[in-house]
Structure 1
């Protein structure tokens, strides 16, 4: 069973919001959308917990949007996996990664539980 078009649009907007400085570094957005047990395997190979990724120092993010090769699959009724390829420019160098995020629907909306970036 696929997600509805409304659910798909909401999930895509949330994933892309993680790449937009105006939302990514907004305290309310971060508190609301990172699960209490969130963790990430970063593109660098480091492991990050929720407290590592919640940051309020607005930094430029030069990510290509819309996200490339984005796919959403339903893992169960209230769980989605989003995969895509990112292109982010740092100091004039484009870094690419395969990305995967796990989102869970709660009574208060969608929260990200896990994220991974693998360079390619």
Structure 2
């Protein structure tokens, strides 16, 4: 049986795949209605904004390293990792963290933050 930490890390990586990012219904399932993100730009977004622009992204690929998951409480997991995004032949790195909460419908991301890395 897959652990909650393993499930959440798998879902985190799924959200980085171009096919998932293009699927509004799937992204909507994975993000809590109260979802908030603070992007690498420092700007904050909610679920509605993310669902509006994420599916139109094209040509971006992500690789992940040093992913870890830590239980914060029953039904709450913090995921941290390093990501490298390649877009238009240019690579950028970021440190990322997400909080996942377990609901009756399954695990959903409640908060995500990206911070530029050198």
Normalised TM-score (structure 2): 0.89
| Aligned counterpart for 1:13 among listed residues 7, 10, 14 | 10
Is the deviation greater in 25-34 or in 109-118?
25-34
Residue 10 of structure 2 aligns to a residue in which SS?
A: helix
Given that residues 5 and 71 in structure 2 are in contact (C-alpha distance below 8 angstroms), is that contact kept between their aligned partners in structure 1?
A: no
**Distance between the aligned counterparts of 1:43 and 1:34, measured in 2?**
19
Given that residues 19 and 61 in structure 1 are in contact (C-alpha distance below 8 angstroms), is that contact kept between their aligned partners in structure 2?
A: no
Q: In the alignment, is residue 52 of structure 1 matched against residue 49 of structure 2?
A: yes
Given that residues 70 and 85 in structure 1 are in contact (C-alpha distance below 8 angstroms), is that contact kept between their aligned partners in structure 2?
A: yes
Structure with higher helix content: 2
Aligned-pair CA distance for 1:27: 2.0
**Distance between the aligned counterparts of 1:33 and 1:113, measured in 2?**
9
**Distance between the aligned counterparts of 1:7 and 1:46, measured in 2?**
30
RMSD of aligned C-alpha atoms? 1.5
Deviations 1:7-57 (A, max 9, x none): 232112100111101112212211211111111110111111111111432
Unaligned runs of 5+ in 1: none
Normalised TM-score (structure 1): 0.88
Given that residues 68 and 86 in structure 1 are in contact (C-alpha distance below 8 angstroms), is that contact kept between their aligned partners in structure 2?
A: yes
Given that residues 59 and 88 in structure 2 are in contact (C-alpha distance below 8 angstroms), is that contact kept between their aligned partners in structure 1?
A: no
Deviations 1:64-115 (A, max 9, x none): 1xx2010100000100000000001122221000000000001110000000
**Distance between the aligned counterparts of 2:95 and 2:57, measured in 1?**
24
